[in-house]
A and B are shown apart, each in its own frame.
Chain A
Amino acid sequence: MAGSAVPAILLAQGGGHDHVLDIGVNFGPLALRVALLVAIPVVAGFALLRGFLAEPDRRGIAAVIACAGGAVVLELMLSGGLALPVRVVPLLLALPAAALYVALSRDPRFAPAVGWARRCAPWVFWPLGVLAAAQFAQAWLAGGGTDRTETLLHTGVVLALVAMAWFAVSRPRRAGTGIGVQLGAVALAMALIVGAGQATVLRDADSVPDVASLVPQK
């Protein structure tokens, strides 16, 4: 939606960069939702199929992690808030970035650290996965109204995506640990798809500020 009628937006940067943000175009959050609903099946599909296919190369794993990280950012923009302190959010973005580095790093100086990170990846995956599952369980089982459910689902989706980023780089030493992580990732992937879909449709189309609805108003 071209935006000649879109007002200039005050960008509150909290500093000397404060200025009126002149964009001149506003097309609403639909594109973000479409991007999210493309990225999440990529991540979930990877988790579901990894056990049946050959191990992907570095670029394939990096692409999955990039999808997960990008989906986290999209979720942050599309959610009205998370059931987490906001100061945790930079950490949740740093974790996929670290996973991406682990996936792509070829620097021999950091090879021992990268190998260690890959072996420890399940210990990042499991806590985040359990936290995500707890958010989904609360949303689906505890009730509490649409807003509460939506917030819990968005939180669960964000945590699950970060967990998936570390699942992608995980290479446990023991076969049993690997199978356990794989099964956990499959379960989390299915919850992720359902949770993301439900969170997306629960969000009121008009609840994003300053965006005119595409649906005619009565």
Chain B
Amino acid sequence: MATSVGTERRLLGPGGLLNTKYHKVALVVFGVIVVGHWAEHLVQAYQIYVLSWPRPKAGGVLGLFFPVLVSSEWLHYGYAIVMLVAFVVLRHGFTGRSRTWWNAAMWIQVWHHFEHLLLLVQAMTGAYLLGAKVPTSIAQLAFPRVELHLFYNAIVFIPMVVAMVYHRRPRSAEAELMRCSCARVLTPAVA
């Protein structure tokens, strides 16, 4: 395998430690955070739609013990920021197809983050979008009844997973460009 582990001392950037030696560890940590967040929301959805709990009471798992995790928009915004930073920082480790999918997830997360920022600014200023009665996101103007947060998380998560799968199973040409140790299986290059 042509992959090589970088020896640079820089943490960030194309040759930084987070994109070479520690890329695999960073992706695992990031993946655990993302999956944990997903699990919380799925439990919350189960509580609302299957157990018919009132929405304010449906706090997932951790939210039952620490309600602030659900009620604080700062935490939701903080999570959006963490995701965005991870997408930006870790993107240099991806090559070929995986980079394309990772970039797609990153740009969707840019928009998702913007929507959270917009909600936060509206709540902080009391100036709601187009005179609405409550803080409103842009997507709600076009799709008022969808499960927006789950939808956003899904459309970020799917390309992210595809990127990770391609990253773990690179073609030979892609593996040549990799400087991390993430690759598990090499798939033959397509002529």
A contacts, CB < 8 Å to B: 8-23, 25-29, 31-32, 73, 76-82, 86-87, 89-90, 93, 208-211
- Give the distance to chain B from A196, nearest Cβ to Cβ, in Å: 15
Contacts of B150 in A (CB 8 A): 15-17
Contact across chains for A19 and B71 when beta carbons are under 8 A apart: yes
Task: Give me 14 A-to-B residue pairs in the complex whose CB atoms sit less than 8 angstroms apart, sorted by A's number.
Answer: A11-B119, A11-B123, A14-B140, A15-B149, A17-B149, A21-B123, A21-B135, A22-B73, A23-B74, A29-B125, A82-B130, A86-B141, A90-B138, A208-B128
B contacts, CB < 8 Å to A: 41, 44-45, 48, 55-56, 58, 68, 70-74, 76, 118-131, 133-142, 144-151
- Give the distance to chain B from A62, nearest Cβ to Cβ, in Å: 15
- With A13-B140, A90-B142 in contact, is A23–B130 under 8 Å at CB? no
Contact across chains for B56 and A20 when beta carbons are under 8 A apart: yes
Q: Whole-angstrom distance between the alpha carbons of A23 and B144 in the complex?
A: 23
Q: Is the interface of B mostly helix, strand, loop or mixed?
A: helix
Contact across chains for B134 and A12 when beta carbons are under 8 A apart: yes
- Give the distance to chain B from A98, nearest Cβ to Cβ, in Å: 13
Which residue from A23, A76, A78, A208 sits with its C-beta under 8 Å from B73? A23
Contact across chains for A9 and B135 when beta carbons are under 8 A apart: yes
Contacts of B48 in A (CB 8 A): 16
Q: Which residue from chain B places its CB closest to the CB of A90 in the assembled complex?
A: B142
Which residue from B58, B71, B119, B126 sits with its C-beta under 8 Å from A29? B126
